[in-house]
Structure 1
Amino acid sequence: MAERVYPADSPPESGQFSGNFSSGEFPKKPAPPPATYVIQVPKDQIYRRPPPENAHRLQYLSRKKVNRSRCRCCICSILAAIFILIVLAGISLTVLYLVFRPEAPKYSVEGFSVSGINLTSPSPISPKFNVTVRSRNGNGKIGIYYEKGSTVDIYYNDVDLCNGALPVFYQPANNVTMVKTALTGSRIQLTSAMRKEMRNELSKKTMPFKVKIKAPVKIKVGSVKTWTITVKVNCDVTVDKLTAPSRIVSTKCSHDVDLW
């Protein structure tokens, strides 16, 4: 328990007191100022370490601080590695582009014949189309693998008349390939208004169709093949009649590429 003590008096300066020391008379100590205390704590109660009840909490907080520091270091290292990989990938792609100068293939419809469409009967139709697609690969050092899983569809307005697929083939660099594909449709029901519209177009020898192609391909650069890329080709084709052979009046194609 703490004890109450008064502060010790400072020694008197020389000549401060004029009492008679020989007779045993000494000056009285001045009274301490009111409300002045000195607290003495026993040495065994001075804690240089946390008391037992707080030791666990201190250990927990210290461990938490260390773990947080390590976590921050790990996150910084991961972000730095990702940034370096992105920079290296960008440099590699730039070098490849400058070396190979890749350009997208060009497509056009060169042949188009129709059969199986009767516009005078209300019965469902089962049309057949034979389409020849011209693919030009103008790259000097890049080949193209056309894989399985392609689709070719022919539409009139928004009606899907028939479907088919491109053959599997490899197109080398600086090459033009003519690809023929047969497409069929089964029991397609046309409305009376659509039949009338088609007869009107046929009388003007301007029957419009839309050809849509989706082809999974892989690009060959040197001895390396890329992942599968999807090429999408949309062609507007106008023919003069619905018989075989049909003459192409006009054609216009556009294409797009899905890299992933």
Structure 2
Amino acid sequence: MTSTPPATAHQHDQTTNTTNSSSFHGCCCRLFLLLSSFLILFIVAAILVIFLAVKPQKPHFDLQKVVFQYMGISAVTTTQSAATVSLIIHMFFVATNENKVGIKYDEFWFTVMYRGIPLGRGAVPGFYQPAHNVRLVETTIVVGQVNLIQANAAYMLGEASLNDRVALRVVGDIGARIQILGLTSPRVQVSVDCTITFSPTRQTLMSKQCVFDGLSV
């Protein structure tokens, strides 16, 4: 009859080696997780220190100039309570970056409205603005024979014929991100809300009033 103790001892050695190997791998995993957590915390802390050091601010936009290339208002012949509006407006904004770091802008749009009714939109392609930089931003809004009905049409026709003035509202939400050492901040938003009054007969701007993020300028 064959003796079994040597086989049992060999199995015991294998079990011991497996246990030691598992313990070693488990220790390495815990050490890796600890180092990874420390590295992540260090990176987050470094980013916070950098942001606090540069004190990033939102970019500032100012409506510099408005040019009316064309403006047309006409009553619809089939009814006295409707009118069509056609216009082409060129708007020039000055974007100022007073930060110590650059700003990356997403593509954004300006919408022209009359008494709360959207008439048309103008796009501004995304761009990068370096630190301490002032840049001219241009957009063109084209409105092609948009119909106004009832009270809005009568109001615009009255403004144009009696007072030679029409007030439009231009709004836009500008998305921007601060860039520091190749890192990009979460998206911040700058709101622009301008009221422009112009003369249809002279095709000229009479007045403008803008509000940027709740601040009137």
TM-score by length of 2: 0.64
Partner of 1:156: 114
Cα offsets for 1:124-165 (capped at 9, x unmatched) = 3333221111211111x2111223x42221111221111120
- Unaligned segments of structure 2, at least 5 residues: 1-32, 77-81
Please tell me whether Structure 1 or Structure 2 has the larger radius of gyration of its CA atoms.
Answer: 1
Against the structure 1 CA distance between its residues 245 and 167, is the aligned structure 2 distance closer, same or farther, given a 3 Å change threshold?
farther
Q: Are 2:175 and 1:220 equivalent residues in the alignment?
A: no
1:134 to 71, 90, 94: 94
What's the % identity of the aligned pairs?
Answer: 19
- Unaligned segments of structure 1, at least 5 residues: 1-76
- SS of residue in 1 equivalent to 2:103: strand
| Higher helix proportion (structure 1 or 2) | 2
CA RMSD of aligned residues (A): 3.3
Against the structure 1 CA distance between its residues 188 and 232, is the aligned structure 2 distance closer, same or farther, given a 3 Å change threshold?
farther
Partner of 1:233: 191
Asked whether the 8 Å contact 1:119–1:195 carries over to 2, the reply is no
Asked whether the 8 Å contact 1:132–1:178 carries over to 2, the reply is yes
Q: Whole-Å Cα distance in 2 between the matches of residues 173 and 99 of structure 1?
A: 15
Partner of 1:97: 51
Instruction: Note the C-alpha offset of 1:255.
Output: 3.0
Q: Are 2:152 and 1:194 equivalent residues in the alignment?
A: yes
- One-letter code aligned to 2:211: C
1:118 to 48, 52, 73: 73
Q: How many residue pairs align between the two structures?
A: 174
Q: Whole-Å Cα distance in 2 between the matches of residues 86 and 204 of structure 1?
A: 64
Partner of 1:107: 61
- One-letter code aligned to 1:137: N
Larger relative contact order (CA 8 Å, sep ≥ 6): 2
Asked whether the 8 Å contact 1:142–1:173 carries over to 2, the reply is yes
Instruction: Note the C-alpha offset of 1:97.
Output: 3.2
| Higher strand proportion (structure 1 or 2) | 2
- SS of residue in 1 equivalent to 2:62: strand
